[in-house]
Amino acid sequence: MIPTPSHEAAPALRGPIRPYLAAGILLSLVAAWLLLLTTPDARDDERAFTAAPACTAPGGSGSDCLWTVTAVLDRTERETGRKTSSYWLYLTEAGGTSTRTMIESNLERLPAARPGATIEVTYWQDQIRYVDLGPDRRYTNADPRESFRLPLTIGLLLGVFGAMFLTAAAATAWSSRRSPLAYPWQVGLTITGGTFLTLFGATAAWAGDNIGDALQLTGVAGVVVLVLCALAAPFLHRRHRGDDTIALHPSVLTEEACFPGLIMGEVPYANHAGYLVAGPGVLATTPDPTGAFHRKATPRTLTPLRVRPPYLTDPRGRPDYDGRTVVVECEDNGVPVLVVTHKKDAPAVLGALEPVPAE
């Protein structure tokens, strides 16, 4: 049996703990900026705009009141690359100033939106907020109403993800004292719960009329998710007790296959990046994704012992293939060797290492 290093001797912050911490701190800081600064400012702008009176004295377009001027619609131009029907309106105001603004609307339904038509544009704080095309009013892309919901949604999502990654780091650090697994079930439960909570966060930002309602709804959803995770924890604990060996059957290989993987160990055929080639009686490493060039075959003395999940105590440089990595523990004349690949490709590795029947 290949000797497995003691997980108690693993240095602090090994494996995914550092990335979890970095991602959690970064996302939490961005979320705090959005929720504490950007969203309240957008909400204040919305309130000020909806409460702004019409200007009673010449104050210019930069005033806090609504400044309306007439303009001639020179031409329209559809904005490409947007899901909604959006158009640029090119205008010349009564004073000769040329400008443009964007509205989301189907101009075919606006008979007044024709070149040469006289329309009214309304400014607030130096930006055109809406235009009156005859009897039809259309708000522009600078409309501050409801503008707080986008940063609120993003802030809630990033906040949940940040908390999820920080919790995953804490769960990994806690479980590393009891298990060598790089991805313990506690982390999987944390990520699952955090993913469900993001759905509530995305909905909460659009369900209420203010920031407090969204935060309260997300908090209630967080309590529900915590309760569900607490109920699921005992079942997961019982399920993952005992040996962590993964039961996989060798594939019956009739031709060669090339897939991502590497071999780690104090052996001359070890590779630290690239691909594996598995075929009948053949296991080789190669940097070529086609598996045709620069192949280095493993000797027949390489013997598989078991398949297991990644460990925190694995050598540095062990890859993670989308969270579906497995490690095939082997030995070559007493030298420990690790073959790392996707779980779906591990049966091909086992099949390639099986003894070739004598003819």
For the whole model, what pTM was predicted?
Answer: 0.71
Residue 97's pLDDT is 85
User: Would you give the end-to-end CA distance of the chain in angstroms?
Assistant: 30
What 3-state DSSP class applies to 304?
strand
* Contact between residue 149 and residue 103 where contact means Cβ atoms under 8 Å apart: no
Q: Could you tell me the CA-to-CA distances from 127 to 45, 139, 231, 239, 256 in Å, in that order?
A: 13, 12, 53, 61, 65
Q: Looking at domain 44-139, does it have CATH number 2.40.50?
A: yes
Tens of pLDDT, residues 167-207 = 988 888 887 777 788 778 888 888 888 888 888 877 888 88
Cα–Cα distance between 233 and 238 in angstroms, integer?
A: 9
Tens of pLDDT, residues 75-112 = 988 887 777 788 899 999 887 889 999 998 888 778 88
Residue 15's pLDDT is 60
Residue 321's pLDDT is 77
Cα–Cα distance between 346 and 247 in angstroms, integer?
A: 11
Tens of pLDDT, residues 305-342 = 999 999 888 888 888 877 688 999 999 999 999 999 99
Cα–Cα distance between 198 and 339 in angstroms, integer?
A: 36
The secondary structure of 45-95 as a DSSP string is HHHHHHHPPBPSS---TTSSSBEEEEEEEEEEEEPTT-SS-EEEEEEEETT
* Contact between residue 144 and residue 46 where contact means Cβ atoms under 8 Å apart: yes
- Neighbouring CB atoms inside 10 A of 340's CB total 24
Backbone angles phi, psi at 159, to 5 degrees: -65, -40
One-letter identity of residue 73: L
Cα–Cα distance between 39 and 33 in angstroms, integer?
A: 9
Residue 2's pLDDT is 43
Position with higher pLDDT, 140 vs 354: 140
Q: Looking at domain 257-353, does it have CATH number 1.20.950?
A: no
Residues in Cβ contact with 126 at an 8 Å cutoff, skipping those fewer than 6 apart: 61, 62
The domain spans of the chain are 9-39+147-239, 44-139, 257-353
Residue 35's pLDDT is 92
Mean pLDDT of 274-289: 91
